[in-house]
């Protein structure tokens, strides 16, 4: 059975701290892993990672995938209160289940002033 | 236009009502999705449409009826819902097939549904 597991489930930090969120996966015919940030409503796309191992960066956020150990990390440096959100990772399935993704349960990040 | 637009944003309905949720995108995406999300849980897939045809139905009860009138529109018709159906209903779109793996989903802001 395909599985995506995120850790920790919740995290409380202070502004300026650096955080690392984890996402491990076991997915048949793995192609990509997606990271999303969800505040009140719509999950917003952060990164797409593949087995290429190429790190993705956007401002204070970065992410990389380890294809050997089957996990990805999302780093946020110099955290701000606006980073408070649920961070979701998802692995889109392939073949007959095209369109379907296995989601992790999310990491709830709270950044205190 | 890089948005998925959902209406209404909030909906309160009785258990005997019939209502519809609407979703629209103009990104040329040929795959569209309905997700249900309960508090503190990840989105849970309900339906996938690929090229306007229903390709995945995740054993959703028949009181939820999806419809894809054209490549830009997706509806979810609701009838005789139960209080436990109260949730955030998210629409998403993506490129079809392997395109999903390159660009991911674009989600709408959701409809917060309360069944009373």
Tokens of B48: 């996938």
Return the pLDDT at A97.
62
B42 Cβ under 8 Å from any chain A Cβ = yes
- For the four alpha carbons of B51, B54, B58 and B64, in that order, the dihedral sign comes to positive
CA of B53: how far to CAs of A46, A76, B49, B73, in Å?
Answer: 29, 40, 5, 12
Residue ranges of A 73-92 with Cβ closer than 8 A to chain B = 88, 90, 92
A26 Cβ under 8 Å from any chain B Cβ = no
CB contact under 8 A, A92 and B100: yes
Higher-confidence residue of A52 and B19: namely: B19
Return the pLDDT at A85.
97
CA–CA gap between residue B65 and residue B75 (Å, rounded):
8
Return the pLDDT at B96.
83
Mean pLDDT of chain A: 93
B102 Cβ under 8 Å from any chain A Cβ = yes
CB contact under 8 A, A101 and B107: no
Per-residue pLDDT at A46 exceeds 90: yes
A102 CB neighbours in chain B (<8 A) are none
Return the pLDDT at A96.
61
Positions of chain B with pLDDT lower than 50, given as ranges: none
Tokens of B22: 């609407």
Q: Closest-CA residue in chain B for A93?
A: B101
Tokens of A48: 């797409």
From the CA atom positions of chain A, what is the Rg in Å? Answer: 14
Closest residue by Cα to residue A42 from B8, B96, B108, B19: B108
CA–CA gap between residue A86 and residue A105 (Å, rounded):
9
CA of A94: how far to CAs of A61, A69, A97, A100, B104, in Å?
Answer: 27, 20, 6, 8, 13
Per-residue pLDDT at A1 exceeds 80: yes
Q: Which of A41, A88, A108 sits opposite B109 (nearest CB)?
A: A41
3-state SS, one letter per residue, for chain A: CCEEEEECCEEEEECCCCEEEEEEEECCCCCCEEEEEECCCCEEEEEEECCCCCCEEECCEEEEEECCCCEEEEEECCCCHHHCEEEEEEEECCHHHCCCEEECCCEEEEEEC
Return the pLDDT at B88.
97
- Angle at CA B44, nearest 5°, toward B91 and A79? 80
B60 Cβ under 8 Å from any chain A Cβ = no
The stretch A66-92 carries a mean pLDDT of 96
Q: Which of A45, A98, A100 sits opposite B97 (nearest CB)?
A: A98
Please give, rounded to a whole number of angstroms, the shortest distance from the CA of B25 to a CA of chain A.
Answer: 14
CB contact under 8 A, A101 and B105: yes
Return the pLDDT at A31.
87
Tokens of B92: 């998403």
**How many residues comprise chain A?**
113
Return the pLDDT at A3.
93
């Amino acid at each position: 059975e395909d599985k995506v597991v995120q850790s920790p489930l919740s995290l409380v930090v202070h502004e300026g701290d650096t955080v690392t969120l984890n996402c491990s996966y076991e997915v048949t015919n793995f192609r990509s892993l997606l990271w999303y940030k969800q505040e009140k409503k719509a999950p917003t796309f952060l990164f797409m990672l593949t087995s290429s191992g190429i790190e993705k960066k956007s401002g204070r956020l970065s992410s990389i995938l380890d294809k050997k150990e089957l996990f990805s990390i999302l780093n946020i440096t110099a955290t701000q209160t606006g980073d408070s959100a649920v961070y979701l990772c998802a692995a889109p399935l392939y073949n007959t289940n095209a369109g379907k993704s296995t989601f992790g349960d999310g990491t709830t990040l709270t950044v205190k002033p | 236009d890089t948005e998925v637009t959902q209406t209404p944003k909030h909906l309160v309905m009785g258990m005997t009502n019939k209502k519809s949720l609407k979703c629209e995108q103009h990104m040329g995406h040929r795959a569209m999705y309905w997700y249900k999300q309960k508090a503190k849980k990840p989105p849970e897939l309900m339906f996938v449409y690929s090229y306007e045809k229903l390709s995945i139905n995740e054993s959703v009860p028949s009181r939820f009826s999806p419809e894809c009138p054209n490549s830009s529109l997706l509806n979810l018709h609701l009838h005789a819902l139960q209080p436990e159906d109260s949730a955030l209903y998210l629409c998403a779109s993506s490129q079809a097939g392997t395109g999903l793996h390159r660009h991911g989903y674009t989600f709408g802001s959701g409809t917060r549904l309360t069944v009373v």
